[in-house]
Amino acid sequence: MNYLEQIDSNNIPQHVAIIMDGNGRWAKQQGMNRIFGHRNALTAIRESVEAANNIGTKAITFYAFSTENWKRPKFEVNALMRLLVRTLKKNLPEFQKNGIQVKAIGNLNRLPKRAQNTLNKIIEATKTNTTIIITFALSYGSREEIVNAVKNISEKIVNNELSIEDIDEKIINSHLYTVSLPEVDLVIRTSGEQRISNFLLWQIAYAEFHFTEVLWPDFRKNDFYKAVIEYQNRERRFGKTSEQIENLNE
């Protein structure tokens, strides 16, 4: 069954954030090592971007490496970093062809120099593309992001560039790595885990969640559409009553 036809084009999530989980378990099922799972995650990324593009989602964010993932065995961390450099380089022509703008969020200074250089080149080369924005969360931790925002705001106060009274939700938003991205409407997490793992804590205040048992390397366009259909069947009330929302829609 093709779920694309069931999607309501008037209610498309503008920003979908994905916690790509289950590469290791997927590889284990195949009798292979964890790195094999990470290598096979790339098709799922590609399929998700295509699906997002097909329905008109303007931004898609992939949680690719968390601040906590630095604690993994060195062998795995190194393999992930190499995979990142190789994949970005290889896909640049495709990003350009399809009008994809690439961004990265996280403590990027912690990445190996080679990864930083490649990333910067790709970000620079694609910055005027407008079809869709794909953001990779790399060495990303939401608590660290918030700590950074607090530090940057404090510095502006000390330098008299900002007063305490100026601090509001907008100011905090504008000091997060996600400053230029639309509000997150939908969060997808694969592999059956139902937790946030330090991802976009501030940004998902009113996002909808879709958890699926599918392991990330098996995730395909139809899985993305299924998540969107579930999203469209929810009533987003933002604190209001159902009746108020219905009246609005009339």
- Does residue 65 interact with ligand IPE by CB under 6 A? yes
Q: Which residues contact 145 (CB under 8 A, 6 or more apart)?
A: 105, 106, 176, 177, 202
Hey, which residues between 77 and 96 contact ligand IPE (CB under 6 A)?
Answer: 80
Q: Which residues contact 14 (CB under 8 A, 6 or more apart)?
A: 57, 58, 59, 182, 183, 185
- Does residue 63 interact with Mg ion by CB under 5 A? no
Amino acid at 32: M
Pick the closer one to ligand IPE by CB: 68 or 161: 68
Amino acid at 132: I
Percent helix / strand / coil, the chain, rounded to 5: 50, 15, 35
Q: Which does 197 bind (CB under 5 to 8 A by kind): Mg ion, ligand IPE, none?
A: ligand IPE
Q: Do the bridges between strand 208-211 and strand 59-66 make them parallel or antiparallel, or are there none, so unpaired?
A: unpaired
Amino acid at 136: F
Pick the closer one to Mg ion by CB: 21 or 185: 21
Choose the binding region for ligand IPE from 18-26, 89-97, 142-150, 241-249 (rule: CB under 6 A): 18-26
Structure tokens at 96: 């350009």
Residue 61: CB minimum distance to ligand IPE, A: 11
Which one of 3, 4, 14, 25 is in contact with ligand IPE (CB under 6 A)?
Answer: 25
For ligand IPE (CB under 6 A), the number of binding residues is 20
- Does residue 186 interact with ligand IPE by CB under 6 A? no
Q: Which does 62 bind (CB under 5 to 8 A by kind): Mg ion, ligand IPE, none?
A: none
Structure tokens at 53: 């593009």
Hey, which residues between 11 and 40 contact Mg ion (CB under 5 A)?
Answer: 21
Which residues are known catalytic residues?
A: 21, 69
Distance CA 217, CA 113 (A): 28
Q: For residue 217, which of 42, 16, 65, 90 has the smallest C-alpha distance?
A: 42
Distance CA 216, CA 211 (A): 12
Q: Which does 25 bind (CB under 5 to 8 A by kind): Mg ion, ligand IPE, none?
A: ligand IPE
Q: Which residues bind Mg ion (CB under 5 A)?
A: 21
Q: Which residues bind ligand IPE (CB under 6 A)?
A: 19-25, 34, 63-66, 68-69, 80, 191, 193, 195, 197, 216
